[in-house]
Amino acid sequence: MMYATADLHNHLRTSSRMDGLLEKAVGRAYKSLKAGGSSRGTKILGVVNFSDKRFEDLVEQKTSYDKTRQDLSNALYFQEQNLLIVKGQEVPTEQGHLLVIGLNKGTHLKDGRTLLDTIKEARDNDGIVIADHPSYRDGIGPYLLKNQDLIPNFDAIEIHNGEAALWIPGVAPMNSNRKARKMYENYIEYNFPDVGAVSFSDGHSIREIGRSYTCLTMGDAFEQPEKILSNLRTSIQNASPEDCVRKNAQLGALKHIADLAAIVALSKLGINL
């Protein structure tokens, strides 16, 4: 049986400019995700778009690791590091945010539609559907609890989000990760056994890569890199709370908020970062 350590929710920085980040992301992911398992285990890093094309911009870059690099359309595989960088998209819907993993390059789901319509489009594009930070700001947890018939459409619930550990009165709710795990254990784990529990960083910096991750059982998917992605959905569906490593990133979240404020202020001056 083979295993993988996966941190599938990362934006790398607040700005969508990815200049020079692929080399740093590969090096950091190899070290931080390797620490979570054996050196032979596959390491999987998700680079997540948000109304932008940061994954597409990132994978066009050259690195010193390119000798055994393979382009799988929705992922890059670095054979020597046994590292897969897979594309994701965080999609704002009318009911809250949705994380979709495994979309092909150039495929971008539409923002601002209903949750159900977005899930349908994600499925039509073979996306893995995850409720990210469900009890945090812009999370869909409360909506899912009122509409539990939608839960079977999900592959997993993010029970821990590294940056969702930040609490700001009136802005960022307290104990959101604890509430997300309680929601999973009380309403989902036994009633919807095909929905897994995952833990990711949601980092907006290179140093946050691999702070929170999920250990996945991947079968014998490693002889051919393309099999890793085909097995990823099933592995995520079978992930349990005990398979997660959870670390908070309050400082990362604070820096993300400060960077957002700076980007908004500069954009009003006609300066885009």
Q: Which of 3-12, 17-26, 229-238 has the lowest mean pLDDT?
A: 229-238
Give residue 53's pLDDT band: very low, low, confident or very high (50, 70, 90). very high
pLDDT at 170: 80
Q: What is the largest CA-CA distance in the chain?
A: 55
pLDDT at 1: 67
Q: Which domains does the chain have, with CATH numbers?
A: 2-268 (3.20.20.140)
Give residue 121's pLDDT band: very low, low, confident or very high (50, 70, 90). very high
Residue 144 has pLDDT above 60, yes or no: yes
pLDDT at 119: 98
| Between residues 225 and 128, the one the model is more confident about | 128
Q: What is the DSSP string of 108-162?
A: -PPSSS-HHHHHHHHHHTT-EEEE-STTSTT--HHHHHH-GGGGGG-SEEEEEEG
Mean pLDDT score of the chain: 92
Q: What is the pLDDT of residues 245-259, one digit of tens each?
A: 999 999 999 999 898
Q: Which of 214-223, 232-241, 247-256 has the lowest mean pLDDT?
A: 214-223
pLDDT at 197: 98
> Which residues lie across from 87 on neighbouring strands?
47
Averaged pLDDT, 166-183:
91
Averaged pLDDT, 113-139:
97
The amino acid present at 207, given as its one-letter code, is: R
Structural tokens at position 185: 């254990």
* Cα distances (Å, whole numbers) of residue 44 to 97, 107, 188, 243: 22, 20, 25, 15
Give residue 172's pLDDT band: very low, low, confident or very high (50, 70, 90). confident
Averaged pLDDT, 189-209:
97
* Residue 59 and residue 75 in contact, taking contact as beta carbons nearer than 8 Å: no
Q: Residue 139 and residue 122: Cα distance in Å, rounded?
A: 18
Give residue 230's pLDDT band: very low, low, confident or very high (50, 70, 90). confident
Q: Which of 9-13, 21-25, 163-167 has the lowest mean pLDDT?
A: 163-167
Q: What is the pLDDT of residues 77-110, one digit of tens each?
A: 999 999 999 999 999 999 999 999 999 999 999 9
Residue 226 has pLDDT above 80, yes or no: no
